[in-house]
Amino acid sequence: MNKEIKFTDNAIKQINYLLSKKDKGSFFRIAIKGGGCSGFKYDFSFEEKPSNEDLKFNNIIIDKTSADLLKGSEIDYATDLIGDSFKISNPQSKSSCGCGVSFSL
């Protein structure tokens, strides 16, 4: 997974920080779900037990369908005027909403 999806140092640091506040052995899940104003949205959550189908990168898990939609993406964690958030630069998205949370393919 790490060759197809790139994580910046800032993203890894933030994920590790968030996981440090959870139960030991928890995972950070990145998923793409239907919804949002552009058709799809990124979803971030925590899980204690990944499924056998999940792709794993250290303590990060992504289901196979979402991983296919994230191929070539860079996941970053940025601080800007509207707040701190994960930012995904996805070359497969054709358009995104103004807030950057949802996108279309």
Q: Write out pLDDT tens, residues 6-48.
A: 999 999 999 999 999 998 889 999 999 887 666 788 899 999 9
Number of neighbours of residue 29 by Cβ within 10 angstroms: 17
Domain annotation for the chain: domains and CATH numbers: 6-94 (2.60.300.12)
pLDDT value at residue 4: 87
Buried-exposed string 67-76: b where 16+ CB fall within 10 A, e elsewhere = bebbeebebb
pTM higher than 0.75: yes
